[in-house]
Every structure is written in C-alpha cells, then in structure tokens.
Amino acid sequence: MNDRNPAAEVVSFCSELIRFDTSNYGPDGSKGEREAAEYVASKLDAVGIEPFLYESEQRRTSVVANWEPDGCDKSLPPLLIHGHTDVVPAIASDWQRDPFGGEVVDGYVWGRGAVDMKDFDAMVLSVVRDRVRSGRPSRRPIRLVFTADEEAGSKLGATWLAQHHPDLVSDCSEAIGEVGGFSLTVRDDLRLYLVQTAEKGIAWLKLIADGRAGHGSMRNDDNAVSALAAAVARIGEYRWPDRIHPAQQAFLDELEDALGVRLNHDTVEETLASLGSISRMIGATMSNTANPTMLTAGYKANVIPSRAVGAVDGRYIPGCKAEFYETIQGLLGDKVRFEALHDDIAVETEFSGALVEAMRASIAAEDAQGRAVPYLLSAGTDAKAWSTLGIRCFGFTPLRLPPDLDFTALFHGVDERVPTESLEFGARVLDRFLDEA
C-alpha cells in the first residue's frame, strides 16, 4: 500500500477554487458555478470517481458523485459529505489582496471562499483522491455533493436537488458540511472544536408601510416613511429574551468545565465576551434575532411618498418560530405589514452516536489538547435542505486555528483567508474520520 498523504493537494486546490469567481448576487444575478463545478468534477474523474453535473438553471451547477470503494462496508448507509462552490460578492478595492487571486502569502490562502467554504471543498478533494491512489477505502460508502446557490438560500442548489432529485441522497443517514469543527482556544492546554448540531431558522422579511402621498411642506399624519421608521426602530432596539437551546446549553456546560467557572443568566454574556471574536457567533444564538438591513422610500425631497419599504434579517431558535413571528407582528404595529422574502427551517440533531465518536477520535488523534463540543449556529447552511429528507446533519469542517485569528470576522468579510497549516490539519482529521465514520 502506498504512503498516505491526505493533505498533499489541499492548499493548491483551495487556491485554485478561489480563482473561480462564483459570486452569488441572489435573485438579481449570479456569475454561476459552472466552471468551478467542472473543475471539481475533473478532479474526481481523474481518480476514477464518476461525477454527474446537475443544473437547476443555466450555469447554476451542482456536482454529485458516489464513492463506494472496494473494501468499504456497503451494508451501511452512505455518508453525505457536502460543500458549496458559490461565494458572496467581494469589492476588490476593499481588500489587501485580489479576492479572486487565491494567493498564498505569509502562511495563508487569501480570497473569497477561503473559509466559506472552498477550504472544505479542497479538503474533501485532497483526502478522497489520496485515499483512492493509496488504496484506502472509507469505512462506508460516501456521497459527495458540491452545490450551487447556498449563499442565496440554496433554492437553486441543495433545495432544488432535494426536491427534484431526492434519490441522489435519500439513502444517506448522516451528513457533514459547514460550519463547524473549527477550534476555539480557551486555555493554553485546551482547544474546543465546535461541531454544529443545530442551526437557527431563517426569516428574511420585507416590511411595507402605505400612507398618504403629499407635498413635503404640509402636515401629514399618515406618513409611510414615519410609520416604517418607527417600526424599524422598535425591531432594531428590541431585546429578545434568552431561549437556551439544548445545543447551546451543552456548549455552555463545556465552557464552564473548560474555564472552571459557574455561569448564570446574568453572567453568560460577560463570559462569552471574554472568548474574543467568537462571542459574536455564540452570543447570537442565545435568543431569536432580527436586524433591519434595508430601507427604501421616496423619489424627491419635497414629496411624501405613498409607500416605504424595508427589510429585516430574522433568525429564530429551533422551536421558537411561532414566538418570533408573533413578536415581529407586535413590533410592526398597525401601519406596517410584512411579506416573507425567504423562510427556511431551523435544524437540530443530538450530539451523540457513532459519527460523533468518530469526530471526537479524529480530532483527538491530531490534537491531544482538542475536545469536540456541540454548538448552535446562528446562520444557515445546506443542512436545511438535506434534513428535509431525514438526514442528520453536522457542521464538521475541521480547522485548528491560531488563537489570535478573528475567524468569525472572515465569514463574508474583507481579507478572507485561511492558514495553510489549518487546511493541512483539516485534511488529516477528515482522513482519519473516514476510517471510523
């Protein structure tokens, strides 16, 4: 049997994938994922894994492949390993480096998608290709899916596949993808690796206020702009009550143990702040949230418009959807209504079972000071689509990160980058994971 080197190609693959500008502008347009999908397909085809390309619309391309190597236990259900190839847009003038250059500088791969999530796409390709070449099967069959359109809600990617081609993955019982498996250094001798076991539901809302149009110099007690502004202010200033989900509580329990402190309702936020930048992500999962994001009204300074429109990005804890919408309705008042721009389910599963034990073991084997723990994600992923087919979904993209790296700021942020050592670490962990998963 040949020597194993699962991390051999991970840095180059990540860099090359970033060079495909797969910016997703949502319903107003997208460059499409076609070239990136063809690249992924070519890397699989080169080692004898047959890829299939699916397009929901022209150039909105996803890749699906079935890897059932000789020696794997085909009596077990396949494991779904999924990533997306689209990225959010980037304004090049804001960056230190070309966001689509894929440059490797100072031990980092720079570019849009470096952490969301072409890093994991690269890990998967590097590991699977190495296992094929070295004759090392996974423990069970693997279903590989690289989707389009995740950054705009998955409608043209994972959701489309789940609705129109469910047979491609419906035999899978479990899945791994983003956003989880990254390290949080809490002590010099302890790193927690946060595995996503739940994620918030999505409620993107369009707010609409109708009023009486008129001259800007006259009194108007039915002003749409005033009504919308007041509603937006109420939503933006509202302090949502804490709703601690079991995944959040499990993380807080692990944090108590790691820090040797006792947390209570009054001190949780203070303790989370001590964790640094990760506190933004964890803090956002303490409750439902709703953030005003857009305002549009009028066409001239001296004309009161008949309509004002806004947008809100809402996220709700699993089990708290009804409470979220009831609260929003109350905050809007009588003069403002809402329409759902995008609503998608919350997802949750337990941090238990053989797959979780495989995560624990693979992390520990590569980092003796690492401990895998569950957490609740504040954002959304393709897991929403796969879970509708009864698949248990986990966020497990393993990365050992420098303690001083503001990792959460890199998601959709300027100067997105990932350490090359983290990519190589992730490939080694993923390789071990496939021995036991």
Beta strands (DSSP E) in 123-230 are 142-147, 174-177, 182-187, 190-199, 201-210, 214-215
Model confidence at 267, pLDDT cuts 50, 70, 90, reads low
pLDDT at 277: 65
Model confidence at 266, pLDDT cuts 50, 70, 90, reads low
Please state at what angle helix 10-18 crosses helix 34-45, rounded to 10 degrees. 160
Model confidence at 264, pLDDT cuts 50, 70, 90, reads low
For the segment 338-357, the average pLDDT, to the nearest whole number, is: 96
Q: Indicate whether 1 pLDDT > 60.
A: no
End-to-end CA distance of the chain: 21
For the segment 411-421, the average pLDDT, to the nearest whole number, is: 96
pLDDT at 55: 97
Question: With the CA atoms of 287, 89, 145 and 280 taken in that order, what torsion angle do they form, in degrees rounded to the nearest 10?
Answer: -20
- Reported as a single tens digit per residue, the pLDDT across 172-207 is 999 999 999 999 998 889 999 999 999 999 999 999
For the segment 334-338, the average pLDDT, to the nearest whole number, is: 97
Q: Indicate whether 428 pLDDT > 80.
A: yes
Q: Where in the chain is the domain with CATH 3.40.630.10?
A: 10-183+379-436
pLDDT at 140: 98
For the segment 332-343, the average pLDDT, to the nearest whole number, is: 96
Write down the CATH number for the domain with range 199-344: 3.30.70.360
- Reported as a single tens digit per residue, the pLDDT across 16-36 is 999 999 999 987 778 899 999
For the segment 411-429, the average pLDDT, to the nearest whole number, is: 97
Cα angle at 401 between 375 and 358, to 5 degrees?
55
SS3 195: strand
pLDDT at 187: 86
**Residues whose CB falls within 8 Å of the CB of residue 417, separated by 6 or more in sequence, listed in order:** 97, 108, 109, 110, 111, 114, 115, 410
pLDDT at 283: 81
Task: Answer positive or negative: Cα dihedral of 414, 419, 422, 424.
Answer: positive
- List the alpha helices (DSSP H) in 238-299: 246-259, 268-273, 278-283
- Reported as a single tens digit per residue, the pLDDT across 60-100 is 999 999 999 999 999 999 999 999 999 999 999 999 999 99
Q: Indicate whether 272 pLDDT > 80.
A: no
Q: Indicate whether 217 pLDDT > 90.
A: yes
- Reported as a single tens digit per residue, the pLDDT across 288-306 is 999 999 999 999 999 999 9
Q: State the fold for domain 10-183+379-436.
A: Aminopeptidase (3.40.630)
pLDDT at 233: 98
pLDDT at 2: 59
Q: Which two tokens stand for residue 12?
A: 């180059």
Q: Where in the chain is the domain with CATH 3.30.70.360?
A: 199-344
Q: Which two tokens stand for residue 324?
A: 């979220």
- List the alpha helices (DSSP H) in 308-419: 321-332, 354-366, 383-387
